[in-house]
A = this chain, B = another copy of it.
């Protein structure tokens, strides 16, 4: 046990996900030795994120303003909507440079084990957007795992009744991958999703 402030910091850092007691200790001593200015910048950015970050009123992504950067951008195609689980998925897709439409962030995936049902996700705002905006296609880009697939199939059924085109991102072998080491499900998907060359 350390004295007062050091112990407090170790405990606070230990609450962060993936930070065990040893890491918390190492981080605390790192912060003890860095310049005060660096530590203050970190503390200020933690506070800033709580004060200044909110959710985009349109797509539920994290945003500094009422609408996020993508929704504010007039060059983005409002007719294609990409549905993702988390804000970090938006960043991952933006990095590909492949998509010029807008996003909708669900804030998670359907997971009965964790007690997350459709009502806990931003599905109502999505339906409201589809009623208001002139959307031609919805791309379901939830993760290709159990929860993400369940969410995609739930949304697929729901949205098709609204007469909008619904698509799902492709599953298959990762680029640079190796047939030999691929699991059966991935390989099966890659086979089923084959395209004429």
Chain A interface (Cβ within 8 Å of chain B)?
A: 1-6, 8-9, 12-13, 15-19, 23, 25-32, 36, 38-53, 62-64, 68-69, 86-88, 91, 94
Known A27-B17, A40-B50: A5·B88 in contact at CB below 8 Å: no
Known A43-B43, A88-B29: A6·B38 in contact at CB below 8 Å: no
Known A17-B30, A48-B8, A62-B6: A1·B36 in contact at CB below 8 Å: no
Q: Which residues of B contact A5 (CB under 8 A)?
A: 45, 48-49, 51-53, 64
In chain B, what residue has the closest Cβ to A28?
Answer: B49
Q: Are A12 and B53 in contact (CB under 8 A)?
A: no
Write 24 A-B pairs (CB below 8 A) sorted by A numbering: A1-B91, A2-B87, A3-B68, A5-B51, A6-B49, A6-B53, A6-B62, A6-B87, A8-B45, A9-B46, A9-B48, A12-B41, A15-B42, A16-B27, A16-B31, A17-B27, A17-B30, A29-B86, A29-B87, A29-B88, A31-B46, A40-B47, A43-B44, A46-B46
| Min CB gap A120→B, angstroms | 13
In chain B, what residue has the closest Cβ to A13?
Answer: B42
* Cα–Cα distance between A94 and B38 once the two chains are bound (Å): 31
Q: Are B46 and A39 in contact (CB under 8 A)?
A: yes
Sort A-B residue pairs by CB-CB distance and give the 3 closest, nearest first.
A43-B43, A9-B45, A5-B48
Our pick among B4, B41, B69, B91 for the contact of A52 (Cβ within 8 Å) is B4
* Cα–Cα distance between A5 and B51 once the two chains are bound (Å): 9
In chain B, what residue has the closest Cβ to A35?
Answer: B50
Known A3-B68, A62-B32, A64-B5: A12·B50 in contact at CB below 8 Å: no
Interface centre among A25, A36, A44 (most CB of B within 10 A): A44
